[in-house]
Structure 1
Amino acid sequence: MIIDKDFRVSEIDKRIYGSFIEHLGRAVYDGIYQPGNPLSDESGFRRDVTELVKELDVPIIRYPGGNFVSSFVWEDSVGPVAQRPKRLELAWESLEENKVGVNEFAGWAKKAGSEVMMAVNLGTRGIADACNLLEYCNHPGGTKYSDMRISHGVKEPHNIKVWCLGNEMDGPWQLGHKTMDEYGRLAEETAKAMKIVDPTIELVSCGSSNRDMPTFPRWEATTLEYTYDYVDYVSLHQYYDNVAGDTEDFLAKSDDMDDFIRSVIATCDYVKAKKRGKKDINLSFDEWNVWYHSKEAEMDLRKNQKWSVAPPMLEDIYNFEDALLVGLMLITLMKHADRVKMACLAQLVNVIAPIMTDQNGGPAWKQTIFYPYLHASKYGRGTVLKPVVKTPVHDTAMHDNVTDMESVVVWNEEKEEITIFAVNRNLKDDLELTTDLRGFEGYKLIEHIVLESSDMNLTNSAGGQLVAPKTCSQSEMDDGIMTSLLHAASWNVIRLGAR
């Protein structure tokens, strides 16, 4: 690998390390919110969970969904809690008690050091409701909905700056599912109206729910014809699984994510050219993760615990190989920092999440995927550099020319630090990485952090962190050349600094 400070991709938007909390399962209730627990604060929010979110330094959190938002009646979630109605939650077939709503969540996000990315209901509702919610959240006062917020005890506006125009509207599973033209027209008119209410907001148009949707990428090409002049981003969603039990091929799926991103960029640029536009539509990859471990349990809960409150749904217990793929996906997002400006690991607590809480009210704990997410958020701030890399390749069952080493380099010019994120996805052989750093005179090795295990199925629990990072002595510098040993199947964070 050769690294030079003049070969720059883009400054990273910190919102690329965002996450997502939906009113689904135990994400909100028994997740971030558990009144009566000694671990909770005076408002009922769990201090230990909040501290873990702060440790991750999550800059933005998407809320309240997800599929949930397509039947969300936001007015039910504000005002005196005792007067809020209980509702049948149709997306996940649960009972929503509305004990946590817009104001409570915005207040918690502030405690956690995060901004809110709010989604509006374009499934069962529409333009007026989206504008009313925006007025409630962002207008200072003197109008019906801003004064309603003030009467609810929230004098200062929330000033939420990022708004999603619905969720996965291309999916037949979505309440209020729409065709490309139906969604494009509704999103266009909603965006126009919302920008009148608050011209400072940024808007995200719904893209395809995943790369395998039959309408991809025609969905993006068609809907952006309507929304191009009014929106700033188009969304991408993608989850990966290893139901085949093929680790080698599983770790190659970040290449599919790369292809997905490139295809959406090409489609956005096609619409820009067709409309003779001057602005780029950037990307918000606002749902991404590994998800498959809990799907059978989810179907059982839907059948046997329908209309229950906060059932334990989608509680994947992640193993070591999942952490490797999450690291690879983070590397992929960073590589595209010139166009991917926001991303949300879905989700944050209990539901396919890096943070878990015991169902009996016990302490919160860190899943395996917590660690690559932590490292990327903590050290991946700055400018993405484009290194020249020579690496062996291999083929898998479904992928050809898969690089043994997948990596990205981030230079924090202000702190005078370089971070190399690298995954050796060769399952059998160690790699020796030689890095030419002569373009960064005076930089020295700070540390080499590694996450590794000989057992791909090893998991963490409340009882023990069997998968956790450690500092190793596998890198050394000599006259601007660094030599690093990357063990087979390992996540590596190599940090250098001039100070």
Structure 2
Amino acid sequence: MNRKAKLYIDKNFTISEVDKRIYGSFIEHLGRAVYTGIYQPDHPTADENGFRKDVLELIKEIDPPIIRYPGGNFVSGYNWEDGVGPVEARPNRLELAWRTIETNEVGTNEFMQWAEKAGTEVMMAVNLGSRGIDAARNFIEYCNHPGGSYYSDLRKKHGRKEPYNIKTWCLGNEMDGPWQIGHKDATEYGRLARETAKVMKLVDPDIELVVSGSSNRQMKTFAEWEAAVLEESYEYVDYVSLHQYFRNDSNNLANFLAQTDGLNDFINSVAAICDYIKAKKNSNKVINLSFDEWNVWYHSDQADKELEPWTVAPPQLEDIYNFEDALVVGLTLITLLKNADRVKIANQAQLVNVIAPIMTSKNGGAWRQTIFYPYYHASRFGRGTVLDCKIESPQYDCKDFKNVNYLESVVVYNQDQAQITIFAVNRNSEENLNLESKLNGFNDYKVIEHIVLEHEDIKAVNTENDPENVKPHSNGNASLEDDILTAELPKLSWNVIRLSK
């Protein structure tokens, strides 16, 4: 016997318009993300600039609106000047964050060229680890100033006449982490971020800046870090960053699927800290959130321990994702959308090869991992306004969480296209869920598609030889009659129910 759940949808109750940047991604100079990932001049599909067209096509399917670059831990030891100018004159560097050799064959101009081909904006990071204010002001001058100054004219000399007009910038990365090159305490970093922000906005007043929050919620300095950093920088920055990775070390599926309930609390906690500093400073400014690293990450731990250091583009952090990981990615996207009033930017880390939805073979093809599909569906169908829906669902308890809904769901209404999209996950591993939902304020809609991602084997993966082992189908049975939507959500499934006039 199937369990029952209800979803209450009303056109008049909304959370927020979705900032399209919530579907962003991340490419770091790490592992094979760049070299043999997006860039491989000797590959059969390479274009005239060395970019893999097979990878570009898969990225265009997802349509990420913004991509964070060049790191990550990498950026805290990166000299941006190494990646501009004639490629043959660029230095090989010891890359200390991941203990590899960075050839600098791909740098700022090459990546910006690739981003234009991919149809995406860039979220650029500056080095506040080993460097600081001066390098940041020179870098933004190089990227964004029209001309007539040393660094803008240097950009022109390097072949790019028009400025890139990069409008979203990260002030370093995970500066609270002892592993970070140039790690600082909160007050020290907050002051540096403030002074760097002031200078960067003098060069380009139209940019938005992301200040580094805690590397994860388990950091001993969490909350104190955010408060101290914002105490110093509040009026000069626009977002504070959050990072979160999900693990299933104990192979406890119920607990793994519940972790996004903790994510929701994490988001609310950081928003509360921002609002505390706002009240303390009697400010009218609202600091929003940039969830600029998130994903499942734990499969590659042992493999990375066996890698030899100081090689070029070794296979680092190449998690092979299974079906249950795809459910967690879907649950994460639902949680981010439910918080769209404060989460304006989010970047799934990362995009190609490194803990990524897209994998490549150096001498072969490119394929979609299991986690590709929820990300693709959300990016494609989740543009519009998030509705403030209420869920009635049977619940369960697990190791770390209580009263977890079997049904997790969010609804996005795109008024311009007259479309409603329901994203829903059934966390129940034993039973299907019979979903019933009354649509208030929506007349003359009909179901146009019910997509389901399901698999009998929760450990099933996609490989180069079997790239479609886990893939969605459109055989869901959602129906709408007299404004009452009914649908059967299979056990352990990701569902996308689309309605239109």
On whether the aligned pair clears a TM of 0.5, the verdict is yes
Alignment of 1:108-257 (within 5 A): 108-257=114-263
Q: Which runs of 4+ in 1 moved over 2 A?
A: none
Q: Which whole-Å deviations, capped at 9, do the CAs of 1:241-280 have from their partners, x for residues lacking one?
A: 1010001100000111111100000000000000001011
Rounded Cα–Cα distance in structure 2 between residues aligned with 1:438 and 1:225: 44
Alignment of 1:11-50 (within 5 A): 11-50=17-56
Which residue of the partner structure matches residue 389 of structure 1?
391
How far 1:299 moved relative to its partner? 1.6
Which residue of the partner structure matches residue 340 of structure 2?
337
Mapped pair 1:376 → 2:382: no
Rounded Cα–Cα distance in structure 1 between residues aligned with 2:211 and 2:440: 44
Rounded Cα–Cα distance in structure 1 between residues aligned with 2:282 and 2:245: 34
Rounded Cα–Cα distance in structure 2 between residues aligned with 1:438 and 1:403: 23
Q: What percentage of residue pairs aligned between the two structures are identical?
A: 64
Which ranges in structure 2 are unaligned for 5 or more consecutive residues?
1-6
Mapped pair 1:477 → 2:480: yes
Q: Which whole-Å deviations, capped at 9, do the CAs of 1:142-200 have from their partners, x for residues lacking one?
A: 10100110000111111100000000000000000000111011001000111101100
Rounded Cα–Cα distance in structure 2 between residues aligned with 1:63 and 1:214: 27
Which residue of the partner structure matches residue 306 of structure 2?
300
Mapped pair 1:355 → 2:361: no
| Contact 1:438–1:481 (Cα < 8 Å) also in 2 | no
Alignment of 1:419-438 (within 5 A): 419-438=421-440
Letter in 1 for 2:425: V
Which residue of the partner structure matches residue 4 of structure 2?
none
1:314 to 311, 314, 317: 317
Rounded Cα–Cα distance in structure 2 between residues aligned with 1:44 and 1:319: 31
Q: Which whole-Å deviations, capped at 9, do the CAs of 1:374-418 have from their partners, x for residues lacking one?
A: 000000000000112211111011110001100000000000000
Once the two structures are overlaid, the 10-residue window that deviates more, 349-358 or 461-470, is 461-470
State the TM-score, normalized to the length of structure 2.
0.98
Rounded Cα–Cα distance in structure 2 between residues aligned with 1:159 and 1:86: 28
Letter in 2 for 1:408: V
Rounded Cα–Cα distance in structure 2 between residues aligned with 1:478 and 1:158: 50
Rounded Cα–Cα distance in structure 2 between residues aligned with 1:496 and 1:193: 48
1:467 to 467, 470, 477: 470
Rounded Cα–Cα distance in structure 2 between residues aligned with 1:388 and 1:22: 38
Q: Secondary structure at the match of 1:432?
A: strand
Alignment of 1:82-97 (within 5 A): 82-97=88-103
| Contact 1:205–1:235 (Cα < 8 Å) also in 2 | yes
| Contact 1:285–1:342 (Cα < 8 Å) also in 2 | yes
Q: Secondary structure at the match of 1:389?
A: strand
Rounded Cα–Cα distance in structure 1 between residues aligned with 2:217 and 2:264: 11
How far 1:479 moved relative to its partner? 1.1
Letter in 1 for 2:256: F
How far 1:91 moved relative to its partner? 0.2
| Contact 2:12–2:441 (Cα < 8 Å) also in 1 | no
| Contact 1:7–1:387 (Cα < 8 Å) also in 2 | yes
How far 1:473 moved relative to its partner? 3.7
Q: Which whole-Å deviations, capped at 9, do the CAs of 1:5-57 have from their partners, x for residues lacking one?
A: 10010000000000000000000000000001111101000001111111101
How far 1:439 moved relative to its partner? 2.1
Q: Which whole-Å deviations, capped at 9, do the CAs of 1:84-141 have from their partners, x for residues lacking one?
A: 0100000000000000000000110010010000000000000000000000000011
Rounded Cα–Cα distance in structure 1 between residues aligned with 2:269 and 2:446: 39
Rounded Cα–Cα distance in structure 1 between residues aligned with 2:150 and 2:196: 19
Rounded Cα–Cα distance in structure 2 between residues aligned with 1:344 and 1:357: 20
State the TM-score, normalized to the length of structure 1.
0.98
Letter in 2 for 1:290: V
| Contact 2:418–2:500 (Cα < 8 Å) also in 1 | yes
Q: Secondary structure at the match of 1:450?
A: strand
| Contact 2:452–2:476 (Cα < 8 Å) also in 1 | no
Which residue of the partner structure matches residue 268 of structure 2?
262
Rounded Cα–Cα distance in structure 1 between residues aligned with 2:80 and 2:116: 20
How far 1:437 moved relative to its partner? 1.4
Once the two structures are overlaid, the 10-residue window that deviates more, 340-349 or 475-484, is 475-484
Rounded Cα–Cα distance in structure 2 between residues aligned with 1:248 and 1:387: 24
Which residue of the partner structure matches residue 446 of structure 1?
448
How far 1:296 moved relative to its partner? 1.1
Which ranges in structure 1 are unaligned for 5 or more consecutive residues?
none
| Contact 2:11–2:440 (Cα < 8 Å) also in 1 | no
Rounded Cα–Cα distance in structure 2 between residues aligned with 1:373 and 1:52: 12
| Contact 2:140–2:203 (Cα < 8 Å) also in 1 | yes
**Number of residue pairs aligned between Structure 1 and Structure 2:** 494
